[in-house]
Amino acid sequence: MAEPNVILDTKNVNDISGNFIVKSYQRGYRWDSQVLTLLEDLRENGDKDYCLQPIVVKRVGENDFELIDGQQRLTTLYILLQYIRQNYKPKIKINFSISYENRTKSEEFLNNINEEQSKDNIDFFFMYKAYKTIDDWFQKSEDDTFLADEMYRYLHSFVKVIWYEVDDSVDSIELFTRLNIGRIPLTNAELIKALFLRRNDAEDEDKRVDKRRQIEIAVQWDDMERQLQDERFWYFLTNDNPEDYPTKIDLLFKFMASGDIDEHEKYATFFYFDKEKDDKEKYKTTLDLWYEVRKTFLLLKEWYEDHTLYHKIGYLIASNTVGMQELINLATKETKTKKEFNSVLDQKIADSIKLPDDREYMDLSYENSNDKDIIYKILLLFNVQSVSNNGSFQWYPFHEHKAAHWTLEHIHAQQSEGLNTKDAMHEWLKQHLVSMNAVYPGDEQKELKDKMEEALDNDKITTQDFTPIFDAVVRLFTKDDATSYMHFLTNMALLNGDQNTVLSNSVFDVKRNKIIEMDKHGEFIPFCTRMVFLKYYSPSEGNQIHYWSKSDRDAYRKNMNEVLKPYLEINNKTI
């Protein structure tokens, strides 16, 4: 939306001057609870810069502006200043005025707000209500005179607006509609774009933003925006939901500004770039700053397209080990070569799964809440690294991984946590009857299977009825010592947490059947989870498909050691 000839600036409230004309296509003043919110925000912010949303205008005379967007904010500021002048500080100046194309009496009322006329029309009603809200707020304070002094000082020195002045050629009604239907505000990206598309007449012709450069920047901008809309690229870069970014290029600006901005300020990245463009020690011209933006984007693309870096960086981001801003700084400021950068990445990956010297990986337990995070990271790394090791034709799908809610699941469950409703118990019985009939055909375990059938027909089944059956079935499908490995790493895998409680509490054979069914339907299953339930890691000799046995667990552990060896060696550990 940003136009090539936009005038973009930040102004203190005290520096806003001119007459602002509200055209007939706009509705009248309608702020209600927002007035009190603004007052509280201004007082709470105090002696810190505070920026309201943009005031969008078009010059229609020497000192006259058509007010396209920001009527509610500007009118409230005017009413507040009027209140302070009338009741506390009669000598202050208000440097701007507001007039109305069709509602000419509104301007007169705005300068003499009173209860008697407030019922004449709906505009007067809301103007008076705002004035009364301000009055009540001041009167409730312990020292309203001091508060008035402080509020005026905040308005004079710290409260700003983003001044967004468009060219004469802009269709005001079209722009107003765009900004107000669905309340789509100007984004940081649109404001930053206006910064870069402003003309300048740098002495060096190569650094000049002229019409040719504007077109070049606009084309590059659109190309970056288009590429960032690719969910594969997006979810490699971040764990953020793309729906939170109306303009995807905002993510790139967030990376560049991270660490130097107030995260609570809506237009923080815009203010960062507005400040950066004036730092002549770093950037002689705005064009130099644009080249830095482009350079950063191309660096991210290079990482995305490099098979090795894609998996290392993708894991670090997905596991919340580091943020992209830290990696950008590492690559551009703290390391000199790609080899050094790779070594630092390896160390960070190893650190993400590092244990204290007195602990071993096989000591980790699902029952220990402090261990769950590192178990998750080990399994995520195992999955990512396994795909990476499979050759350059396979890439771990971070976009699919992040679309699901992954949880640590027991490969073979031995407890009935959460199975406390009739539907859940019946579903569990139905699924496990399939496995019972497959493993114990005919009359084998007939008594238990009959009990399961009876329980399925029982509409009033209780946990007391269900638990003995559950325990008996689990015993039949449990090999080796049931308690020695239950919560350990070799009995854990990543499964979609959106799957129901029944699956979480199922024995290996039932889970295996479900995984195969999901795979047939094209659902995303982490690589190693699929391999576990397909018995990929298990030796063929003596292999059986219905149980998760000691030999299966040993093979699973052996493969983890092989795949994670580069990082385990850094930590001087094995699994």
Q: Where are the domains of the chain?
A: 7-186
3-state secondary structure at position 388: helix
Residue 270 burial class via C-beta count within 10 angstroms: exposed 0-12, middle 13-18, buried 19 and up: buried
Checking if the pLDDT of 302 tops 60, the result is yes
- CB burial readout 446-472, b (16+ within 10 A) else e: eebbebbeebeeeeebeeeebeebbee
Checking if the pLDDT of 433 tops 90, the result is yes
Lowest mean pLDDT: which of 280-284, 372-376, 463-467?
280-284
Checking if the pLDDT of 4 tops 50, the result is no
- Residues 471-512: tens digit of each pLDDT: 899 888 887 765 668 889 999 999 887 655 667 788 888 889
191-200 average pLDDT score: 78
- Give dist(CA 195, CA 206) in Å, integer: 18
Q: Where are the alpha helices (DSSP H) in 158-281?
A: 172-180, 188-197, 211-228, 231-237, 250-257, 268-276
Q: What pLDDT shows up at residue 2?
A: 42
Q: What pLDDT shows up at residue 3?
A: 44
Q: Which of 119, 73, 116 is nearest to 96 (CA)?
A: 73
- Residues 201-227: tens digit of each pLDDT: 556 666 667 778 888 888 999 899 999
Q: What pLDDT shows up at residue 152?
A: 96
- Residues 170-186: tens digit of each pLDDT: 888 878 877 765 555 67
Q: Which helix (H) or strand (E) holds 371?
A: helix 369-389
Lowest mean pLDDT: which of 198-202, 492-496, 537-541?
198-202
Q: What pLDDT shows up at residue 184?
A: 53
The predicted model scores a pTM of 0.74
Confidence band, pLDDT 50/70/90 cuts, at residue 554: very high
- Residues 332-358: tens digit of each pLDDT: 988 889 999 999 999 999 999 999 988
- Residues 32-82: tens digit of each pLDDT: 999 999 999 999 989 988 888 889 999 999 999 999 999 999 999 999 999
